[in-house]
Amino acid sequence: MKRFSLSLSILLVLAVFLLNSCSGLPGGTTTPPPGNANFTVTVTDAPPTGVSFVSFNVPITSASLTSSTGAIVNVVTPSTPILLDMIRLQSDSAALGTFQIPADTYTKLTITLGVVNATFANTTSATVGSCVAGDVCFLNSGTPGAQIITFASPITVIGNANVGLNVDFNLNNAVTTANGVTIDFTQANILTIPNAPVTTGNLNAIEDFTGVITTFTGNNVTITSGTRGVLAGTVTSTTTYTGISQGSNPACGGTPNFQCLNTSKTVSVDGTLSVSGVVTITEVDFLDTPDVDEIEGVIYPTSTAGVYNMIVSDKVNVSNNALLTALSAGAKIAVTLDTSVEFDVDTRSLLVSTPSGFTSSSDLAAGQEVMVHVKSATSGTLLNVLTDRIVLRYSRVTGLVNTVRGNTFTYQQASLPAFLGAFTTPPTVNTVTGVTTFDGVTDIAGLSNNDSVSVRALYLHTNTVQPFQAAKVRKH
């Protein structure tokens, strides 16, 4: 059964798999067997160095395969491009779908990209390109040429098989810094496959997929994101339920459980994706019950007291506000605090109690991922959102390991994105045994000095002892 809505990104990943993972039939025969092949795909990102990106959205507009007979197979041609936020994928994995392709022998793949939009923080004392010192600026690739991959030998796709793979998008190979900061898709090795294809069991994890429950039947749940598409999965007897417990109106009345599941509620879910395309939801985190207008993104303070800027990563637009409808991932908005603002922390299952360090505007800092309730929105130079509730959610941070001790490790300050600001001591990442998940290593003991590591973590800027509480640790 198809569990995900189709995405242009699926073919991008499929093509790389075909190039690297399949081969022709014995004896040079390229006649394929009949039938179709099932492919399940996830994508991750290898982070860039030397540039402090706040967002990096890659749109794919079309993709096609060319068979050995010269026939063009148009796989996906959507009405609007599909965006992947590569900053989020430094620590997370994106589930792109399970789909079928006819068994055949293929010789090349053509992929068309739209304009790649990114936002970077110029934390230097000089102008970088047209971005003045201290500013946060947009960057785009122009319109890239068609990406054509000609296979070294004809590739035969075998029918009646389940194959899953993860593809890594290497930002470092797509970004050049020789003359300012530019995005260049003529560079080599932008896409790689770090691991062998998976043919049985689970392929990867679904992580922090946020949206509104649009259907709920039996144990089957469909969640629709304002920016990331649709996810359909199944809850089981082992699914855990969490929710924001602070404030005057805690999610699910303070008792999140299976009975709280219903349509028109905003949730964030984790799960596993099997190689056959089945999503099993392992955790449901209730954010708003019922759903309300929300915008999530990365913040950074401005010079105006009480006003903050945000680069949008997700949204919930229950009211169908036209200003929010036009808002896309990567957009820059202004956030103004109401006279009375509630500060909450979405700990999920990471911590048994709410940590200190996020109770007032003085705890807001650049690099924090937050979700703001939209009390009102007005147009201007930037869309301005007035908020009366701010929820601290997981940030994505990448740097080099300094030291490892017990359940914690420290980052080398100079390796962190510069827009995070200065720390008085090497910032510490705390992990929780049995809760924090590891990718690339079995546990924290597998980390060493100078390892490149990304975390998905609560960023408590004013907690000078342990500013990062990590739900996920990925060694690159």
The Cα 454–Cα 105 span in angstroms is 38
Is residue 281 packed enough to be buried (19+ CB in 10 Å), middle (13-18) or exposed (0-12)? buried
**41: confidence class by pLDDT, cuts 50, 70, 90:** low
Give the phi and the psi of residue 449 in degrees, each rounded to 5: -55, 135
Query: Do 295 and 310 touch, CB atoms closer than 8 A?
Result: yes
Q: Is the pLDDT of residue 223 over 60?
A: yes
Is residue 315 packed enough to be buried (19+ CB in 10 Å), middle (13-18) or exposed (0-12)? buried
What token pair was written down for 443?
């546990």
**21: confidence class by pLDDT, cuts 50, 70, 90:** very low
Side-chain-side CA neighbours of 329 within 13 Å: the count stands at 24
Side-chain-side CA neighbours of 320 within 13 Å: the count stands at 0
Residue 105: how many other CB atoms lie within 10 Å: 20
Q: What is the pLDDT of residue 317?
A: 97
Amino acid at 401: V
pLDDT digits (tens, 9 = 90+) for 421-476: 888 899 999 999 999 999 999 999 999 999 999 999 999 998 878 899 999 999 99
The Cα 297–Cα 370 span in angstroms is 6
Close Cβ partners of 111 (under 8 Å, ≥ 6 residues apart):
11, 12, 15, 60, 62, 63, 146, 147, 148, 149
More confident residue, 373 or 199: 373
Q: Is the pLDDT of residue 77 over 90?
A: no
pTM of the model: 0.86
Query: Which of the listed ranges 27-36, 65-74, 120-129, 377-386 does the model predict with the highest average pLDDT?
Result: 377-386
Q: What is the pLDDT of residue 72?
A: 78
Amino acid at 164: G
Report how far apart, in Å, the C-alpha atoms of 317 and of each of 25, 225, 406 are: 51, 10, 43
How are beta strands 220-224 and 437-439 bridged, if at all?
unpaired
Q: What is the pLDDT of residue 15?
A: 40
**97: confidence class by pLDDT, cuts 50, 70, 90:** low
Q: Is the pLDDT of residue 27 over 50?
A: no
* Beta strand extents in 244-380 (DSSP E only): 266-274, 279-288, 294-301, 307-316, 332-345, 369-373, 376-378
Strand-pair partners of 334: 309, 384
**158: confidence class by pLDDT, cuts 50, 70, 90:** confident
Query: Which of the listed ranges 81-90, 175-184, 258-267 does the model predict with the highest average pLDDT?
Result: 258-267
For residues 406-411, give the mean pLDDT.
Answer: 97
Residue 99's nearest CA partner among 165, 210, 2 is 2
What token pair was written down for 400?
């080099």
